[in-house]
Amino acid sequence: MPVISFLLPARHRVDDVRRICKYLLPQITRAECELIFVEETAFSDRELSELLAEHGVKCLRVDSDRKEFHKTRLLNHALSESRGDYVIPLDADLLPMFSIDTLCSLVTTSPQLIIGGYRVMSGNDDSCVNSYTISVPKAAPEDCSGAIYKQLMQGERFMVCPAYNRLELLSIGGWDEEFVGWGCEDQDVLERYCKSTKRICARSRDLLYLHFDHCDQNGWNEPELVKANRVRYYSRNR
């Protein structure tokens, strides 16, 4: 059985998915983990298809006739097909800047904790990946003063790519599919998971992710979607 199942949902993000797969798949294979790729639209990229097939990646398809990107639905579909002791949701615009062996060690030796990481914001420059240098890095929004105040003084939780116990995550129903598009779906599932399991969040500086810029997409972060997601999150977690 895999130690960790990485869940990667995507729509119209061929270049981003190809980049993260090139970096992750050799390590995942060696570390006895698995990657589950779930897409909302069919990709026609030969290089990516061959890469996924070479490493035996489980590829899922969720058809949808709605214009909004239903990320939570895709994550739950991937969760239902996963086999790892732990599951980690990945975004296609994030790239781990650490070894998967380090991640597995942290997760398996700290079962009473929810292990997650940090991210730094960078431009869309693939040269960063090979050199492990980040030019003009920026702190992520969750690490700026306003968000830190909410976390410390108002009890909000936030983690980058937390490692959930798969069975425990299934027991709370996974992600709430009422969240559509961008915003708060990750905080909501983390809050519900912590309340159910009584586990403690632990962010490790050893788990640093590089966030690549990308253009906005229709059906993803329109103001009305973001507002609806925030209203749902804060009505439940206040």
Place of tokens 């061959």: 50
- Residue 131: pLDDT band by 50, 70, 90 thresholds? very low
Instruction: Tell me how far apart the alpha carbons of residues 228 and 225 are, in angstroms, rounded to a whole number.
Output: 5
Residue 230 pLDDT more than 70?
yes
Mean pLDDT highest for which of 28-37, 131-140, 156-165?
156-165
Contact 32, 63 (CB under 8 A): no
- CA-angle at 171, arms to 165 and 175, nearest 5°: 80
Residue 91 pLDDT more than 80?
yes
Mean pLDDT of 180-196: 91
How confident is the model at residue 178, as a pLDDT? 92
CATH number of the domain encompassing residue 84:
3.90.550.10
How confident is the model at residue 188, as a pLDDT? 93
Residues 6+ apart with CB under 8 A from 25: 35, 51, 52, 54, 55, 57
H-helix or E-strand spanning residue 190: helix 185-197
Contact 39, 149 (CB under 8 A): no
Contact 118, 203 (CB under 8 A): yes
Domain that holds residue 148: 4-236
Share of the chain above pLDDT 70, in %: 87
How confident is the model at residue 106, as a pLDDT? 95
Residue 130 pLDDT more than 60?
no
Instruction: Tell me how far apart the alpha carbons of residues 187 and 26 are, in angstroms, rounded to a whole number.
Output: 30
Our count of domains for the chain comes to: 1
H-helix or E-strand spanning residue 115: strand 113-122
How confident is the model at residue 132, as a pLDDT? 47
Residue 217 pLDDT more than 70?
no
- CA-angle at 133, arms to 129 and 136, nearest 5°: 115
Q: What is the mean pLDDT of the chain?
A: 84
How confident is the model at residue 123, as a pLDDT? 62
Residue 82 pLDDT more than 90?
yes
**Which has the minimum average pLDDT: 119-128, 143-152, 183-192, 221-230?**
119-128
